[in-house]
């Protein structure tokens, strides 16, 4: 887009202090705001909206051309002519000259432009392959460290509780052996009875895929894996087994329908990478440590004391320690899993010779998991099951983070060979790469962040002399850690207040302190609600503008009004799914319908949700990201019909009730 003022100067995308990307002219320092983007910068958006609507009626011709359409804009006199802004009637975008945005009414803060971050400037991809750690060394160190920790814990357990060493050791070995030996067979049974699945031979696979698998297996001296196809529309692939020569690789029909031949081969190569690297065995061994620790925790908690059992306090202490170590070891296993995903991705890039095929497949799979039903899949195969989530550690994707990609890069129906809007993907990646909340959620995931996987694959493509799939500019305009820390404090505030209140009461067990504890907890909870459900003034927005917002989280939302069409349920095919997927002219997003009691969600999904499908809708709610971008519904309106969610109201009522109750208890005791 070209600057309306300088005419021959291109606009560049820059970040603002509010965490919103805008188009900026480096020469005259003017700003172009897309439709509804201006409301990110206002305290009272409805007031500014009313002033703009009044000014539209008084519009005058302008000599400036719209950066969007190239057609003449109009001038809008705001604040009784005190300021004139240029407005594009076709796109409803606004052009503001230097510093004009700070002269508008009820502006939240001075808008500071970070001119060092130009998303359209050429970003060079390194020609040196990003290093990955030595897989054998890291695997050995992780397994050695975890089992050394487990052994030390078992020794302490025996010494303090006087449980025979043989009992603790035998219990651990039995659990580990059963889990390892029976795991694949239990998965076989699960697939047989819970899924519409069939095992197939090489001749039953597409010829290109069969030949490709045969070649890769011969090159790596392993047997042709047992192949299974799940008749399910959700695109996915995963592997399991004991060792490389009895591996099973299972793919869904949705994956074959969505991807082209090269992309399908790249996904299968990723799964074979897990097989070649012995990930099935190594990840099983790693996962046994938290499993045994949890088994010990549950066993010790269930032992009942008899008579004067002096070991009871020690058992409780050991049980708590086992649970803490269980949580720590779970995070280690997740980190270990993410490391091995990078190796499987790189293996795929090496054997296919084109890492871009896997990158493209990952993007398209993200669309499929988001519920795009426009793909060429037989209607009977479109039902999707949450039970597929059980195989995510050895799968191609984490379904939760895949959905982020889907809503952020939507550019119309994605079919086999369809294109993806990479500029929107870059916008989505900014949250992945910049916001600390993305790292927080990654720590709880079996797979790395999407943007990181695409970055590594693009680097590998560059090293191989190919055009990178996507190029990210990772220079952050600010750290975002200050906002993250504030969000984190707000998130844990009620929990901390509850602990303080409980401690006050149990120290002396006085009624006054009970009331004081309730007052502290209610006040903290009220603060969290007021922060997490801001404002009675909801700004008119569009999905594209929301997805460009960096400073957003599950705790820090954006109050908004969105108009569009509901195109499906949150879980396609599930007749009682109460959530929705919504589309406007700029993208798609998930809608979270939530009532205080789960039974009302179920009844709404079963009895009423279908009536809203394919209807033009107005949604009032709070845009959040955790890490999936979604809008928590406050009010859903279709024509004259309205449906209101009361979670905010109930939370507010509960917090105020606790405050009043705690205050009354304290005052009653104090003045008694």
pLDDT tens digit sequence for 183-218: 788 778 877 776 677 888 888 888 999 999 999 999
Using 50, 70 and 90 to split pLDDT, how confident is the model at 368? very low
Which residues lie closer than 8 Å to 58 by C-beta, 6 or more apart? 76, 77
248 - beta bridge partners?
A: 226, 240
Q: Is 283 helix (H, G, I), strand (E, B) or coil?
A: helix
The whole-number average pLDDT for the span 373-400 is 41
- Per residue in 610-619, pLDDT (tens digit) is 888 889 999 9
Using 50, 70 and 90 to split pLDDT, how confident is the model at 223? very high
The whole-number average pLDDT for the span 110-127 is 55
Q: For position 537, what pLDDT does the model report?
A: 80
Q: Is 70 helix (H, G, I), strand (E, B) or coil?
A: coil
Q: Pick from 222, 25, 204, 240: which is nearest to 113 by CA? A: 25
Mean pLDDT of the chain: 79
Classify domain 481-672 at the CATH topology level: OB fold (Dihydrolipoamide Acetyltransferase, E2P) (2.40.50)
37 counts as catalytic: no
Q: For position 120, what pLDDT does the model report?
A: 46
Residue 355 or 304, more confident: 355
Which of 263, 265, 271, 341 is catalytic? The answer is 271
107 - beta bridge partners?
A: 42
Q: Is 313 helix (H, G, I), strand (E, B) or coil?
A: helix
Is 353 exposed, middle or buried, given 0-12, 13-18 or 19+ CB atoms closer than 10 A?
Answer: exposed
Using 50, 70 and 90 to split pLDDT, how confident is the model at 225? very high
| Residue 574 structure tokens | 């599930």
Cα dihedral 532, 534, 536, 542, rounded to 10, equals -90
The whole-number average pLDDT for the span 480-504 is 91
- Per residue in 167-176, pLDDT (tens digit) is 655 666 676 6
User: How far is 442 from 148, CA to CA, in rounded Å?
Assistant: 26
Buried/exposed 64-97: b ≥16 CB within 10 Å, e otherwise: bbbbbeeeebbbbebeeeebbbbbbeebbbbbbb
Using 50, 70 and 90 to split pLDDT, how confident is the model at 550? confident
Write down the domain spans for the chain: 12-114, 135-463, 481-672
Using 50, 70 and 90 to split pLDDT, how confident is the model at 371? very low
Lowest mean pLDDT segment, chosen from 387-391, 593-597, 637-641, 654-658: 387-391
Buried/exposed 474-495: b ≥16 CB within 10 Å, e otherwise: eebbbebeebbeebbebbebbe
- The whole-model pTM stands at 0.72
Using 50, 70 and 90 to split pLDDT, how confident is the model at 526? very high
Using 50, 70 and 90 to split pLDDT, how confident is the model at 376? very low
Residue 647 or 5, more confident: 647
């Amino acid at each position: 887009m070209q600057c309306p003022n300088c005419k021959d100067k291109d606009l560049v995308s820059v970040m603002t202090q509010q965490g919103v990307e805008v188009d900026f002219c480096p020469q005259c320092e003017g700003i172009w705001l897309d439709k509804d983007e201006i409301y990110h910068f206002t305290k009272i958006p409805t007031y500014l909206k009313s002033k703009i609507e009044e000014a539209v009626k008084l519009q005058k011709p302008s000599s400036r051309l719209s950066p969007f359409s190239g057609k003449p804009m109009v001038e809008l006199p705001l604040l009784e002519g005190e300021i004139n802004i240029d407005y594009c009637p076709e796109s409803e975008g606004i052009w503001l000259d230097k510093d004009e945005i700070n002269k508008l009414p009820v502006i939240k803060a001075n808008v500071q432009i970070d001119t060092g971050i130009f998303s359209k400037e050429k970003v060079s991809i390194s020609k040196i392959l990003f290093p990955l750690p030595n897989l054998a060394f890291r695997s050995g160190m992780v397994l050695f460290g975890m089992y050394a920790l487990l052994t030390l814990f078992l020794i302490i357990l025996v010494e303090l509780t006087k449980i025979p060493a043989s009992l603790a050791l035998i219990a651990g070995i039995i659990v580990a052996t059963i889990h390892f030996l029976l795991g694949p067979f239990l998965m076989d049974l699960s697939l047989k009875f819970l899924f519409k699945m069939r095992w197939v031979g090489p001749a039953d696979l597409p010829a290109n895929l069969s030949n490709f698998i045969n070649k890769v297996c011969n090159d790596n001296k392993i047997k042709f894996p047992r192949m299974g196809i799940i008749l399910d529309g959700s695109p996915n692939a995963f592997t399991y087994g004991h060792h490389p020569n009895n591996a099973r690789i299972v793919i869904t029909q949705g994956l074959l329908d969505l991807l082209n031949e090269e992309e399908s081969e790249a996904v299968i190569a990723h799964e074979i990478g897990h097989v070649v690297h012995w990930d099935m065995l190594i990840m099983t061994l790693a996962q046994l440590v938290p499993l045994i620790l949890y088994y010990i925790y549950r066993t010790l908690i269930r032992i009942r004391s008899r008579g004067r059992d002096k070991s009871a306090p020690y058992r409780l202490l050991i049980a708590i320690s086992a649970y803490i170590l269980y949580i720590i070891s779970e995070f280690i296993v997740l980190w270990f899993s993410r490391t091995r995903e990078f190796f499987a991705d790189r293996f795929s890039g090496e054997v296919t010779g084109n890492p871009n095929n896997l990158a493209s497949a990952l993007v398209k799979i993200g669309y499929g998991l988001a519920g795009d039903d426009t793909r060429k899949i037989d209607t009977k195969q479109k039902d999707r099951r949450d039970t597929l989530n059980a195989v995510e550690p050895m799968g191609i994707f984490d379904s939760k983070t895949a959905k982020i990609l889907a809503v952020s890069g939507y550019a119309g129906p994605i079919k086999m060979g369809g294109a993806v809007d990479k500029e929107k993907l870059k916008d989505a990646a900014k949250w992945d790469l910049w916001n600390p909340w993305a790292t927080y959620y990654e720590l709880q995931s079996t797979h790395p962040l999407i943007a990181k996987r695409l970055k590594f694959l693009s680097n590998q493509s560059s090293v191989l002399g190919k055009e990178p799939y996507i190029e990210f500019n990772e220079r952050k305009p600010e750290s975002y850690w200050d906002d993250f820390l504030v969000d984190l404090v707000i998130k844990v505030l009620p929990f901390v207040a509850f602990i303080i209140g409980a401690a006050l009461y149990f120290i002396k067990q006085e009624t006054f302190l009970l009331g004081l504890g309730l007052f502290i907890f209610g006040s903290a909870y009220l603060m969290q609600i007021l922060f997490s459900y801001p404002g009675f003034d909801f700004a008119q927005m569009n999905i594209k503008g929301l997805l460009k917002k960096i400073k957003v989280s599950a705790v820090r939302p954006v109050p908004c009004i969105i108009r569009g069409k509901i195109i499906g349920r949150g879980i396609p095919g599930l007749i009682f799914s109460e959530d929705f997927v919504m589309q406007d002219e700029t993208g798609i997003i998930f809608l979270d319908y939530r009532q205080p009691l789960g039974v009302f969600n179920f009844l709404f999904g079963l009895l009423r949700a279908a009536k809203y499908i394919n209807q033009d809708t107005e949604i009032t709610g709070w845009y959040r990201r955790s890490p999936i971008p979604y809008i928590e519904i406050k009010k859903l309106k279709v024509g004259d019909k309205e449906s209101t969610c009361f979670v905010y109201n109930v939370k507010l009522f509960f917090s105020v009730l606790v405050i009043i109750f705690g205050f009354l208890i304290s005052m009653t005791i104090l003045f008694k």
